[in-house]
Structure 1
Amino acid sequence: MKAFAMIPARYAASRFPGKLMQDLAGKPVIVRTYQAALGTGLFDRVIVVTDSEEIALAIKGCGGEVIMSREPHETGSDRLAEAVEDLEVDIVVNVQGDEPFTERESLAKLLQVFREDPEARVDLASLMTELTDPEDIANPNTVKVITDREGFALYFSRAVIPYQRAEEPRAVYYKHKGVYAFRKQALLDFRRLPMQPLEAVEKIEAIRYLEYGKKIKMVRTSVSGIEIDTPEDLERAKAAWI
């Protein structure tokens, strides 16, 4: 099974433009993320896919591999789908460029899903971590996920799901971490399928896979890390960096 880590990296983030080129302990955030993915030792190749010459130069400057996007893209999945079309690869792991604390344990669990799936039931695998802080649960920037009994995703939302209707039983909440592992064909399918209303309303690309019947296996992890979505997140990452 040939597996690549691919890091979609656009410069113009809506909430924190240029965040991937912000300094984190002497190196840009995107370089820290690339080196973390490479350091897991799990992948045949680690590739940054970007529309930014500045990001490309930073990755090439540390000896990394870059693919430049030929077209503008609305989602990370679209960007990766274009990049993998001509690559010989079985599983593509999408590592978010703003995740400099990417670690081996969680990514290894994602790859194991496909090794244990001889019938190819799983189109994608992704990570979730339990939420306990009420502010995080209520935060619309925190995407929540609910699953069936086998751990397949039923729905993703920025709203609080499930809804706590009565005091008992107590609801358990899970945050969807934006780290995916795809079969190559799932990525190629995503690119050719138009966005549907639920994805458009929620602004969550994973919903497109569900709307078209793809099976997403969710994997629990206790590693939360720090996603750099805001300047405040960057300051927390700097404080946590050792």
Structure 2
Amino acid sequence: MTDCFGFIPARYDSSRFPGKPLAEICGKPMFWHVWNRAMKCPELKKVILATDSEIIFEAAEKLDVPVVMTDSSHTSGTDRILEAARKTGILGNSIVVNIQGDEPCLEPEMLTELIRPFNKAETRVTTLASPINFDEAQSRDRVKVALAKDGRALYFSRAPIPFSHTGNEQFLLHIGLYGFRMEALELFASLEQGYLEQREKLEQLRLLENGIPIHVAVTRHSCHGVDRPEDLHTVIKILERQQ
């Protein structure tokens, strides 16, 4: 296994929750909880915060969290971690892990599951999925993925895929953690948005449209992301139970 580095994009501006990375959870900002959980993944050599905010940058330094300042014009977390990876000097065959900054209950084992497929030299991009039921799959905010027998993603969609005949089938929910070989991350950023990406508003489709396979590891773990201030109550309860 080559060197693996985790990056946590931490943007200050958010339409639903401005300043979200700084939200206090059990006495520490949310970004610290994500970083602390990610650091428990044994495969990661280092975990680095990538931010566009001086306030977040200073808060990270006070808590001894490695941090890189990035441009405020980035439109996605993927672009932000690419800039941070370049500034950190990540080599082409090294693995860059994009860790969502709003997952303070992240299970470190999920990162291990994400990284494990890179034991095969041909693996260039990985992500995760977990089973959900028919009712959960109806939400357009819950992205579904269909897989080939070898674990490669065939398609991602906001629609329930594949079609359900009985309403009893399980679906696979896409979990937005990604692993990239650095060369694949560079290539991804150089490609223009494709038709399917624009239709679904899902940037991972850019890879599939350009023939770049994504290996999907199915996990038993679920996510508890913070999208809005009211979500903090749920994650605080989870973390308090784990203490």
On whether the aligned pair clears a TM of 0.5, the verdict is yes
1:33 aligns to 2:31 (yes or no): no
Candidates 105, 112, 123, aligned match of 1:108:
112
TM-score, normalisation: structure 1: 0.91
CA distance in 1, matches of 2:162, 2:231: 27
1:229 aligns to 2:209 (yes or no): no
The more displaced of 12-21 and 125-134 is: 12-21
Q: Is the 8 A contact 1:42 1:104 kept in 2?
A: no
RMSD value, Cα: 1.7
TM-superposition CA deviations, 1:171-200 (whole Å, max 9, x none): 320111111111101110111111122212
Q: Could you tell me which residue of structure 1 aligns to residue 144 of structure 2?
A: 144
CA drift at 1:208 = 1.2
Question: Structure 2: which 5+ runs fail to align?
Answer: none
CA distance in 1, matches of 2:156, 2:220: 19
1:172 aligns to 2:173 (yes or no): no
CA drift at 1:213 = 1.3
Q: Could you tell me which residue of structure 1 aligns to residue 63 of structure 2?
A: 62
CA distance in 2, matches of 1:71, 1:29: 20
Q: Could you tell me which residue of structure 2 aligns to residue 14 of structure 1?
A: 15
The SS at the match of 1:199 is helix
AA paired with 1:159? A
AA paired with 1:111? I
The SS at the match of 1:185 is helix
CA drift at 1:97 = 0.3
CA distance in 1, matches of 2:45, 2:199: 37
TM-superposition CA deviations, 1:11-41 (whole Å, max 9, x none): 1223322222111111111111111111333
CA drift at 1:233 = 2.0
Q: Could you tell me which residue of structure 1 aligns to residue 158 of structure 2?
A: 158
Equivalences, count? 236
TM-score, normalisation: structure 2: 0.91
The SS at the match of 2:39 is helix
The SS at the match of 1:146 is strand
Q: Is the 8 A contact 1:144 1:157 kept in 2?
A: yes
Q: Could you tell me which residue of structure 2 aligns to residue 186 of structure 1?
A: 184
AA paired with 1:40? C
Q: Is the 8 A contact 1:85 1:188 kept in 2?
A: no
The more displaced of 194-203 and 28-37 is: 194-203
Q: Is the 8 A contact 2:127 2:175 kept in 1?
A: yes
The more displaced of 155-164 and 184-193 is: 155-164
CA distance in 2, matches of 1:208, 1:13: 24
CA distance in 1, matches of 2:197, 2:153: 15
CA drift at 1:59 = 1.4
The SS at the match of 1:151 is coil
CA drift at 1:218 = 0.3
Q: Could you tell me which residue of structure 2 aligns to residue 204 of structure 1?
A: 202
CA drift at 1:133 = 6.2
Q: What's the % identity of the aligned pairs? A: 36
Q: Is the 8 A contact 1:47 1:66 kept in 2?
A: yes
CA distance in 1, matches of 2:40, 2:62: 17
Distance 1:142 1:228, change over 3 A: same
Q: Is the 8 A contact 1:12 1:18 kept in 2?
A: yes
CA distance in 1, matches of 2:166, 2:222: 27
Q: Could you tell me which residue of structure 2 aligns to residue 95 of structure 1?
A: 99
Q: Is the 8 A contact 2:175 2:223 kept in 1?
A: no
CA distance in 2, matches of 1:58, 1:2: 27
The SS at the match of 2:224 is coil
The SS at the match of 1:80 is helix
AA paired with 2:35? Y
CA drift at 1:80 = 1.4
